[in-house]
Structure 1
Amino acid sequence: MNSYDVAIIGSGPGGYVAAIRCAQLGLKTALIEKYSTLGGTCLNVGCIPSKALLDSSHHYEDAVKHFEEHGIDIPGDIKVNLKQMIARKQSVVDTTTGGIDFLMKKNKIDVYQGLGSFKDATHILIKGEEETEIEAKNTIIATGSKPSNLPFITIDKERIITSTEALKLKEIPKHLIVIGGGVIGLELGQVYKRLGADVSVIEYMDRIIPTMDSGLSKELNKVLKKQKFKINASHKVKSVERVGDEVIVKADNKKGEEVEFKGDYCLVSVGRRPYTDGLNAEAAGVTLNDRGQIDVNENLQTSAKNIYAIGDVIKGAMLAHKAEEEGVFVAETLAGQKPHIDYNLIPGVVYTWPEVASVGKTEEQLKEAGVAYKTGQFPMRALGRSRASMDLDGFVKVLADKTTDEVLGVHMVGARAADLIAEAVVAMEYRASAEDISRMSHAHPTFAEAIKEAALAATGDRALHV
């Protein structure tokens, strides 16, 4: 029987990064993955393939709507080759997952293919083509999450689908009904809207992206409506039925009236749930809470002292980069180091166009906590760079402590917001004030100038270009 210092169950961003860091720190490491490719949801059916399709569809939309204005004339009709678009997406996935294979070999990590389940706290059975048993002094559970569903919806994976199926459709929907106005639903909805589908979004809460700052929600709602999305907030779905090639969704609006939606595809994107199926956690003394999450302490230690859990399977935002930070945290803890994670500084991003990004406290959270704050906001359309690229929608908002001027939150909608948010994370990690940001030179012309201008606005209505 092979013995290891650390075994990691699950090879998503949390799991494979934890494995690499453990190996770097001199720990003998095993990685267990039940699927044939490494990378988990993110690399195979999540972050990476969805961004590939978002980029491809964005290029198509630019060709159809904007090339002529840029002085680019293309003879003949511009057509979508969905088969090639999906194939390119898959090649991106294959290259990326292959890169994880390389990293495992480079770091001398033993990879086991099969379902990992606990025999006890130090022994793991791996059921693949044949059954293997390994021994591990410590184990990191990184089994991730699966798409959630509503109890009355039957996912047939043909017309009533999850995000997994939406990444490999063989035709462009005529009318895609999206249940859930969160990140996944809006991103995939935008892919198919650009390619020619009508898209109706049905959201239970009173606004889309309900966990983010309400200002971002309001701005994105305005932008998507301009793109001809049909947004239906405060709607409670009560039935989803397939009749032949048609899907009929019935919902109650905020007045309690029944509304019916008919489309040829229905994407169910109502969040994700922790995945622990087949783990046999109880055999190792690992307890789960009533939400199916694994309980952990501040060191990400489960109720079994030698077993840790990270990523989507524990509390907190279900984000790949959160899982990565937690993977590194556990590896360094096992090696006797003193790492830290500030969960307030884990950024959130929606990869629609314009992109949406956020870090720190929202205005709603600051009001609820009774924190006195000031706001500085700057519109993207006031930037020369935005006019040059025709990306005029959005804004940057900086929230700062009214007394100390420390930045408490940064929220933005706009081109490249997913990349720009890193500046806010760095500033807040070092407890910068709004004035600190406002006094740093930002290259011109760039989208990043909006952050400086919003910080200037927060220090006392000093924005220069509005």
Structure 2
Amino acid sequence: MKSFDVAVIGSGPGGYVAAIRCAQLGMKTTLIEKYNTLGGTCLNVGCIPSKALLDSSHHYHDAITHFEEHGIDIPGDVKVNLKQMIARKQGVVDQTTKGIEFLMNKNKVEVFHGLGSFKDATHIMIKGETEETIEAKNIIIATGSKPSTLPFIEIDKERIITSTEALSLKEVPKHMIIIGGGVIGLELGQVYNRLGADVSVVEYMDRIIPGMDGALSRELTKVLKKQGVKFYLSHKVKSVTRKGKEVIVGAEDKKGADVEFKGDYCLVSVGRRPYTDGLNAEAAGVKLNDRGQVEVDDHMRTSAANIYAIGDVIRGAMLAHKAEEEGVMVAEILAGQQPHINYNLIPGVVYTWPEVAAVGKTEEELKEAGVPYKSGQFPMRALGRSRASMDTDGFVKILAHKETDEVLGVHMVGARVADLIAEAVTAMEFRASAEDIARMSHAHPTYAEAVKEAALAATEDRPLHI
């Protein structure tokens, strides 16, 4: 029987990063993955493939809407080759997952392919092409999540689909009905809207991206409506049925009236659930809560002293970068170090175009907590860089403490704000004030100037360019 210092179950961003860090710190490490490829949901059917399709569809959308204005004439019709678009997406995925294999070999992490399940707190049975049992002093559960559904919906993976199937469609839908106005639904909705589908988003809450600052929700709604996406907010879905190639979604609006939507595809995008199927956690003394999450303490330790859990399978935001931070944290704890994660400073991003990004407290949260604050906002349309690229939608909003000027939250909509948010995270990690950001030199012309201007607006209400 093979023995290891650490066994990691699950090879998503949390799991493979945890394995790398454990190996770097001198521990004999193994990684167990039930699928044939490494990388988990994020690399295979999540973050990476969705961004590939978002970029491809963005190029097509620009070609049919903006190229002429840029002075680029294309003879003949611009057509979508969906088969090639999906193939390119898969190429990106394959290259990325092979990169994880390289990293495992480089760091001497032994990889097992098969379903890992606990026999007890130190032994894991791996069922793959063969069956074997390994021993590990410490174990990290990083089994991630799967798409959720509603109890009355039967996912047939053909017309009634999840995000996984939406990444590999063989045709552009005529009318895609999306249940759920969260990140995943909006990103994939924009992909197919750009490619020519009618897209209807049916959302139970009274706004899209409900966990983010209200100003971001309002701005993204306005922009996506302008692009042709239809929104049905405060609608409770009650039924989803299929008749041949038609899908019928029955819902109830906020007045209690019945509403019916008909389309050829229905994307069910109502969140994700922690995935522990087949783990046999109880055999190791690992407790799950009533939401199916593995219970952990502040150090990611489960109810079993030598077993830890990270990422989507535990509480908190289901974000790849959150899982990575937790994976590193557990590895360093096992090495006797004292790492720390500030969950308030883990950014959230929506990769639509314009992008949406945020970190820290929302305005609603500050009001509810009774924290005195001031707000500074600057529109992207006032930037020369935005006008040059025709990306004038959006803004940057900075929330700072009214008395100390410490930055409490930063909320952005605009071009490349998924990258810009790192500036806000850095500033807040070092407890910067709005004035600190306002006094930093920002290159001109850049989108980042909006951050400086919003900080000026928050500090003394004196932005320079509006």
Same fold (TM over 0.5): yes
1:216 aligns with 2:222: no
Q: Distance in 1 between matches of 2:461 and 2:294?
A: 47
Give the drift of 1:29: 0.1
Give the drift of 1:183: 0.2
Q: Give the equivalent residue in structure 2 for 1:169.
A: 169
> What do you get for the CA RMSD once the two structures are aligned?
0.3
1:70 aligns with 2:70: yes
Q: Distance in 1 between matches of 2:244 and 2:404?
A: 62
Q: Distance in 1 between matches of 2:261 and 2:83?
A: 28
Alignment-mate amino acid for residue 364 of structure 1? E
Q: Distance in 1 between matches of 2:168 and 2:299?
A: 39
Give the drift of 1:136: 0.3
1:276 aligns with 2:276: yes
Runs of 5+ consecutive residues of structure 2 not aligned to the other structure: none
Alignment-mate amino acid for residue 181 of structure 1? G
- Give aligned pairs, total: 466
Q: Give the equivalent residue in structure 2 for 1:333.
A: 333
Any idea what SS the aligned residue of 2:460 has? coil
Give the drift of 1:226: 0.4
Q: Give the equivalent residue in structure 1 for 2:252.
A: 252
Q: Distance in 1 between matches of 2:345 and 2:435?
A: 19
Q: Distance in 2 between matches of 1:380 and 1:167?
A: 31
Q: Distance in 1 between matches of 2:390 and 2:330?
A: 44
Q: Give the equivalent residue in structure 2 for 1:154.
A: 154
Q: Distance in 1 between matches of 2:310 and 2:271?
A: 18
Q: Give the equivalent residue in structure 1 for 2:84.
A: 84
1:449 aligns with 2:449: yes
Q: Distance in 2 between matches of 1:436 and 1:415?
A: 24
Q: Distance in 2 between matches of 1:134 and 1:361?
A: 44
Q: Distance in 1 between matches of 2:390 and 2:305?
A: 55
Q: Give the equivalent residue in structure 1 for 2:464.
A: 464
Alignment-mate amino acid for residue 198 of structure 2? D
Q: Give the equivalent residue in structure 2 for 1:232.
A: 232
Alignment-mate amino acid for residue 246 of structure 1? E
1:439 aligns with 2:430: no
Any idea what SS the aligned residue of 1:170 has? coil
Q: What are the equivalent positions in structure 2 for 1:314-329 lying under 5 Å apart?
A: 314-329=314-329
Any idea what SS the aligned residue of 1:48 has? helix
Q: Give the equivalent residue in structure 1 for 2:140.
A: 140
Q: What are the equivalent positions in structure 2 for 1:55-454 lying under 5 Å apart?
A: 55-454=55-454
Give the drift of 1:380: 0.3
Any idea what SS the aligned residue of 2:241 has? strand
Give the drift of 1:209: 0.2
Q: Give the equivalent residue in structure 2 for 1:42.
A: 42
Q: Distance in 1 between matches of 2:72 and 2:227?
A: 22
Give the drift of 1:95: 0.1
Q: Distance in 1 between matches of 2:148 and 2:338?
A: 35
Any idea what SS the aligned residue of 1:459 has? helix
Q: Distance in 1 between matches of 2:427 and 2:297?
A: 28
CA offsets, 1:301-337, max 9 Å, x none?
0000100000000000000000000000000000001
Q: Distance in 1 between matches of 2:3 and 2:13?
A: 24
Give the drift of 1:354: 0.1
Q: Distance in 1 between matches of 2:338 and 2:82?
A: 49
Any idea what SS the aligned residue of 1:88 has? helix
Runs of 5+ consecutive residues of structure 1 not aligned to the other structure: none
Q: Distance in 2 between matches of 1:221 and 1:272?
A: 23
Alignment-mate amino acid for residue 71 of structure 1? G
Q: Distance in 1 between matches of 2:436 and 2:305?
A: 43
Q: Distance in 2 between matches of 1:450 and 1:47?
A: 27
Q: Distance in 1 between matches of 2:132 and 2:51?
A: 36
CA offsets, 1:164-218, max 9 Å, x none?
0000000000000000000000000000000000000000000000000000000
- Give the TM-score of the pair, scaled to structure 2: 1.00
Alignment-mate amino acid for residue 432 of structure 1? A
Q: Distance in 1 between matches of 2:141 and 2:305?
A: 13
Any idea what SS the aligned residue of 1:220 has? helix
Give the drift of 1:462: 1.1
Q: Distance in 1 between matches of 2:285 and 2:456?
A: 53
CA offsets, 1:31-83, max 9 Å, x none?
00000000000000000000000000000000000000000000000000000
Any idea what SS the aligned residue of 1:199 has? strand
CA offsets, 1:213-259, max 9 Å, x none?
00000000000110111011100000000001000001000000011
Alignment-mate amino acid for residue 454 of structure 2? A
Alignment-mate amino acid for residue 108 of structure 2? K
Give the drift of 1:460: 1.6
Give the drift of 1:453: 0.2
Identity %: 83
Alignment-mate amino acid for residue 326 of structure 2? E
Q: Distance in 1 between matches of 2:262 and 2:364?
A: 35
Any idea what SS the aligned residue of 1:299 has? coil
